[in-house]
Amino acid sequence: MMTTKAPKMFGHADGNSFYCSVETIYKPWLREGPVIVASNNDICAIAMNKPAKALDIKMGTILSDLTDLIRENRIATFSSNYELYGEVSSRMMRHFSQYVDRMEVYSIDEAFLDLTGFQNNGLEKYGREIVRSTARNIRMPICLGIAPTKALAKAANKLAKTDIDRKGLYIIDSDSDRVEALKELAIADVWGIGDSYEELLLREGVENAYQFSCMPQKWVRKKMTVMGERLWMELNGVSCLELEMMLPDKKEVCTSRAFRHTVTEFEELQAAVVRYLDSCARKLRKQGSCAQTLYVMIRTDNRKDKWKECFRSLKMELPFPTHTTSELIPYGIELLKKLYPRYRPGQYKYEFRKAEVTLGKLVPENARQANIYDTTDPVYRQKMERLQQVVDEVNGGLNLDSRYLRMGAEITKSNYTALQRNMLSENPLSNWDNRILIGQCV
């Protein structure tokens, strides 16, 4: 007997100017005006809302070049507050999950929703309700694209963002809709088309998504590999990308950041390496894995004069797979000691700007194997792991720069390697000191 499956339907939900919108949740008076969110160390703009984009501020513009523009247009500028964005993101995802049985969290502000089965059952009404309730309950304006494939849903979302009349919802549920939508979508805006494919397709005279979908399949496969072919099929309405429900565990974890100021002294670099090591180890404890290798890198800025440039890195095998910060730190410092240049008196000291720590070759924490080179007392190790659990509980969901408990080596006189966040907004969701006072008992 033949069984006919109901045709699939995907929704792609995406927060509008997510970081900027989060910043205005607790400051609604800023909502209509221009808002910018700055990168780490407040160096350049990484997110702009619509009014800020209208002032021709581009992603990556250096903030100090915008001083006059910011003052003249009263642009609200914020340091990036990733704990707050993460909190709002998980609230938004939980909100979406009330509407569908299956969903894929695609990024901090995007999710694919399984809307199969709603085709004949008020898809538009349901989609409209998701958009409206997210704005009402989470205070997050979103756009929702709905279509029979993931790539088409993503395209529909893009169009929902540009066409104000659609009020945040764009549905593709017939072939004529599909053709109409793809004709409106520039080739550069198609999901998965990077700069090099864009160039290749423009050379072939392909300017929009519809023209791409009309290219011969064989040509696409030959020039753009099987991934390009999959995208081509998806745009032609053949679903070949499934929802990825579970995020696969990471294969390695890395923390890499530029410093607020360049540093020359060993203690300053040590503070950064210890802090990044704790950040990596925390990520490992969260996913229940232990690392078997440790990599440390330090570098100066990219400069034109070669003699001032220095890039050094080292990697080592750990004697026992671990995710305990205190156990990892001596190894991190040992590597750094080997990396740190030995200066002769009076010699020019390198101005280091960045450090990176990577923990790799991960194994599940309950599948660790003993090693004959491991000399640590197992009872001592258990005690340290218990202590670590207490530290994690105290620090809770706080991010790297606002933890209550930290290692002594992280704190130096100048604190030049700590992140600069002079325009940080408050976080009433996870910081007790930032809670909002609604009324007071007398």
Q: Contact positions toward Mg ion, by CB under 5 A?
A: 14-15, 18, 109
CB of 17 to Mg ion, least distance (A): 7
What does the alpha-carbon distance between residue 206 and residue 187 come to, in Å, rounded to a whole number?
7
Secondary element (H or E) of residue 77: strand 76-78
Closest separation between CB of residue 31 and Mg ion, Å?
Answer: 16
Instruction: Name the minimum Å distance from CB 175 to Mg ion.
Output: 28
For residue 31, with 0-12 CB atoms within 10 Å meaning exposed, 13-18 middle and 19 or more buried, which class applies? middle
H-only helix segments in 288-404 = 325-339, 378-395
Q: Which is nearer to Mg ion, 18 or 350 (CB)?
A: 18
Provide the pairing of β-strand 142-147 with 169-171.
parallel
Min CB(110)–Mg ion separation in Å: 6
Closer of 95 and 178 to Mg ion (Cβ): 95
Residue 231 contacts residue 190 (beta carbons within 8 Å): yes
Nearest distance, CB of residue 19 and Mg ion, angstroms: 9
Distance, in Å, from the CA atom of 328 to the CA atom of 291, rounded to the nearest integer, reads: 10
Q: Measure the CA–CA gap between 70 and 89, rounded to whole angstroms.
A: 28
Grouping H, G, I as helix, E, B as strand and the rest as coil, residue 418 is coil
Exposure of 352 in the CB half-sphere (CA atoms within 13 A): 27
Which residue(s) pair with 422 in the sheet? Answer: none
Residue 15 or 332: which CB sits closer to Mg ion? 15
Phi, psi of 279 (to 5 degrees): -65, -45
Nearer to Mg ion, 109 or 234 (CB): 109
Instruction: Name the minimum Å distance from CB 283 to Mg ion.
Output: 24
* Measured distance CA(355)–CA(233) in Å, rounded: 43
Q: Which residues does residue 315 pair with via DSSP β-bridges, in sequence order?
A: 295
We find the least distance from the C-beta atom of residue 370 to Mg ion, in angstroms, to be: 47
Shortest Cβ 15–Mg ion spacing (Å): 5
C-beta of 141 vs 237, nearer to Mg ion = 141
- By beta-carbon proximity to Mg ion, the closer residue of 14 and 104 is 14
Minimum distance of Mg ion from residue 227's CB (angstroms): 23
Q: Which is nearer to Mg ion, 15 or 145 (CB)?
A: 15
Q: Quickly list DSSP for 232-288.
A: HHHHTT--------SPPPPS-EEEEEEEEEEE-SHHHHHHHHHHHHHHHHHHHHHHT
CB nearer to Mg ion: give 14 or 42. Answer: 14
Cβ neighbours for 54, distance < 8 A, ≥ 6 positions apart: 34
For residue 39, which phi and psi values (nearest 5 degrees)?
-75, 180
Nearer to Mg ion, 150 or 257 (CB): 150
